[in-house]
Amino acid sequence: MTPTTRTRWAILTLTGPAYLWLACTIFLPLLAMLALSFLDKSPLVPKPASFTLDNYGAYFSKGFYWPLTLWSIQLGFWVTFFCLLIGYPAAYALAKRIKGRWREAIFLLIVLPFWSNALVRIFSWTMVLRSNGIVDMSVQAMFPGAPSIDLLYSYPAVIIGLTHSYLPYMILTCYIALQAIDDSLMEAGRSLGATAFTTFRRVVLPLSLPGIISGAALIFVPVIGSFMEPRILGGTKGATLGMNIEEQFTVTANWPLGSALSFILLAIVLIIFGILYPFLRKQGGEA
């Protein structure tokens, strides 16, 4: 075998199982959903369906979809931003400042909260955030007579809940990337007279960019489709596009519209990443 055919075989063997699996269980069903989004009836209704663009038209003609979309994207940006803000320093500390057994222990402790049920976690947050809840009671205990704090059913509550749910992704993807950076590179930068900040900006940040991108993808993408956390923590302030998509499956049984909205959501995600990706790659200096 020539090296190129060998490489080709290697690529095929390595990617084959995962993508074959994805094709059979997700891509084909989603293709069916994509086709469905151009029909006027659900496939299980025993009446002939015909081609239509109305489902996509509805998105543009109904006035409420645009604000819902905007809020969902905003939510995605805020949550990704806070995860990065909190998570990156934590990842850096873990990768570069903590040594030995503690590192493994903290690494595991960061994911463990994820092994509980999301709904149970959110209900726990309601206990923390509501007036007479845990935040309120601790503040009152520390500063008697302070005004009562009721964070529940507000936009910040949604951000807090979602940031909590997705923070481990950012910490660990950044950790994995940061940990792979050889300390000697950083020392070299410093011995050449660069300030700590310059070293960070020119060496550490670009090399850890893959971690940030992976983390951001795993946070931003699901968050803009989220509906459970906004509904339970946001009260009336948590309207999202995801909620309306859910409703097309649980209330109206309008699968074609629900699929069309999902694919619009997907298109938005791909466009945003399409715009950001080249920019990020450039920052990363084709690492």
Of the candidate residues 198, 252, 271, 283, the single one contacting other proteins (CB under 8 A): 252
Phi/psi class of residue 145: alpha, beta or left (left: φ > 0; alpha: ψ in -120 to 50)?
left
Positions 112 through 171 that interact with other proteins (CB under 8 A): 112-128, 130-134, 137, 152-153, 164, 167-169, 171
Q: How many CB atoms lie within 10 A of CB 47?
A: 8
Residue 87's alpha-carbon distances to 36, 82, 149, 272, in angstroms, are: 40, 8, 26, 22
List CB contacts of 190: < 8 A, sequence separation 6 or more: 196, 199
User: C-beta of 37: minimal distance to other proteins in Å?
Assistant: 10
199 binds other proteins (CB under 8 A): no
Q: Do 230 and 239 form a contact (C-beta atoms < 8 A)?
A: yes
Residue 143: both structure tokens together: 């500063």
By CB under 8 A, residue 202 contacts other proteins: no
**Interaction with other proteins in 13-52: which residues (CB under 8 A)?**
13-15, 17-22, 24-30, 32-33, 43-46
From 48-56, 141-149, 197-205, 265-273, give the range in contact with other proteins by CB under 8 A: 265-273
The span from the CA of 20 to the CA of 70, in Å, is 35
The contact mask relative to other proteins for 228-247 (x = CB under 8 A, - = no) is ---xx-xxxxxx--xxxxxx
Q: Where in 169-188 is the site for other proteins (CB under 8 A)?
A: 169, 171-177, 179-180, 182-184
**DSSP labels, 92-133:** HHHHHT--THHHHHHHHHHHGGGGS-HHHHHHHHHHHHSTTS
Angle 249-253-258 (CA atoms, 0-180°, nearest 5)?
Answer: 50
Give me the least distance between CB of 286 and other proteins, in Å please. 10
In whole angstroms, the minimum distance from the beta carbon of 60 to other proteins comes to 14
- Specify the stretch interacting with other proteins by CB under 8 A; choose among 48-56, 140-148, 197-205, 256-264: 256-264
Determine if 84 is a binding residue for other proteins (CB under 8 A): no
Contact between 287 and other proteins by CB under 8 A: the answer reads: yes
Give yes or no for residue 63 binding other proteins (CB under 8 A).
Answer: yes
Q: Which region, judged by CB under 8 A, interacts with other proteins, from 49-57, 82-90, 139-147, 197-205?
A: 82-90
